[in-house]
Amino acid sequence: MTEQNPRVVCIGEVQLELTRGADGTFAPACAGDGFNAAIYLARAGLDVGFATAVGDDPYSDSIMALASAEGLAGNLILRVPGRLPALCIIERGRSGERVSRVWADSAPARELFELPDWMRIAESLVSARLIYFSGITLSLYSNNGLGRLFAALEVARQHGAKVAFDGNFRPSGWKGNLARTRTVFMEALKRVDIALPTFDDEAVLWGDPSPESTVARLQAFGVGEIVVKNGPSSALVAAPGALQFVPVPEILAPVDPTAAGDGFNAGYLAARLLGSEPEQAASAAHRLAADVLRHPGALLPRSAAAIH
């Protein structure tokens, strides 16, 4: 792992995830939407760091070990003595649906921009080429933490960084407060260059009737590059001078939908950073998302994880 500030910085939380199997035993893993995307970006050969905070316990050690094994820069993961990471337990409901229960209110990741070393994170953003975070990331922070994040994003953009945002909306993370959610998202969107929303989320949060209306709303905030994930069939790409639906190459029955959107986002951003045009990048994103859908869990086996 490099100790220099990485060129791509993803921000978010890593949870300890326990999934109950059919036999009643639990399989442990580390999970988080920004963390998943960071790993897939690193697997594409990019210099990536993940900005978060964990404790000093053995479970936090396992998070650090996974980040190191995946080539993520570890100098942006703050360690907080006496604290524990968030815990998520996943089971199957009566109809086979995925049911998750999360214990996270005291997790140190939620204080990332209020910890004593928060300026280390801010400085890494200023020197980054690309900064990525999601709506779930925003739900973690207090208003004070959000203010510091937004200020750092403004300085980073003045220094040439691009900001990418997935409006990943989970009502439980916002405790049902849609007014605050919309206010925070609007403040974030003023500082976003690349938006990667999912249409279903946008319809719930904003009442958008179509992917085209999502594009128009985001363009009104000044977002220059938009890719709307539009279910299993296509993505709508809006870039300067272009508006195009890019179809999914192959319709398939998912083994596990977990992190398919994270894989899509990473596939798109990696392709763009490596020189592809937006439409080509969307096709690459579809392929990586399809690979993720074919495997259980958030992270593909490394042998299957090459970004096309």
pLDDT band at 116 (very low <50, low <70, confident <90, very high): very high
The yes-or-no verdict on residue 113 having pLDDT over 70 is yes
The yes-or-no verdict on residue 181 having pLDDT over 80 is yes
pLDDT band at 308 (very low <50, low <70, confident <90, very high): very low
The yes-or-no verdict on residue 106 having pLDDT over 60 is yes
Lowest-pLDDT range, 135-144, 182-191, 293-302? 293-302
237 is a domain residue = yes
The per-residue pLDDT for range 249-277, each reduced to its tens digit, is: 877 766 777 788 999 999 999 999 999 99
**Span 223-252, average pLDDT:** 91
**Number of domains the chain contains:** 1
pLDDT band at 2 (very low <50, low <70, confident <90, very high): very low
Which residues constitute the domain of residue 43?
8-13+32-81+106-304
Of 275, 118, 133, 125, which is closest to residue 192 (Cα–Cα)? 133
32 half-sphere exposure, CB direction, 13 A CA radius = 30
72 is a domain residue = yes
The active-site residue out of 166, 201, 262, 291 is 262
The per-residue pLDDT for range 45-89, each reduced to its tens digit, is: 999 999 999 999 999 999 999 999 999 998 999 999 999 999 999
**Span 231-259, average pLDDT:** 85
Q: Is 291 a catalytic residue?
A: no
20 is a domain residue = no
Strand order in the sheet with 26-31: 26-31, 15-20, 86-92, 98-103
Q: What is the pLDDT of residue 232?
A: 85
Long-range contacts: 114-119, Cβ < 8 Å, 24+? 114/142, 114/144, 114/145, 114/148, 115/53, 115/78, 115/80, 117/78, 118/148
Give the whole-number percent of the chain exceeding pLDDT 90: 77
215 is a domain residue = yes
**Span 88-107, average pLDDT:** 86
96 is a domain residue = no
286 is a domain residue = yes
Q: Are 265 and 130 in contact (CB under 8 A)?
A: no
The per-residue pLDDT for range 26-42, each reduced to its tens digit, is: 989 998 999 999 999 99
pLDDT band at 93 (very low <50, low <70, confident <90, very high): confident
CATH number, domain of 170, equals 3.40.1190.20
Of 172, 179, 32, 180, which is closest to residue 112 (Cα–Cα)? 32
Type of residue numbered 84: L
DSSP state of 91: E
Q: What is the pLDDT of residue 4?
A: 60
Of 209, 285, 194, 281, which is closest to residue 240 (Cα–Cα)? 194
**Span 12-30, average pLDDT:** 91
The yes-or-no verdict on residue 1 having pLDDT over 60 is no
141 is a domain residue = yes
3 is a domain residue = no
The continuous run of DSSP H or E covering 272 comes out as: helix 260-273
Q: What is the pLDDT of residue 224?
A: 97
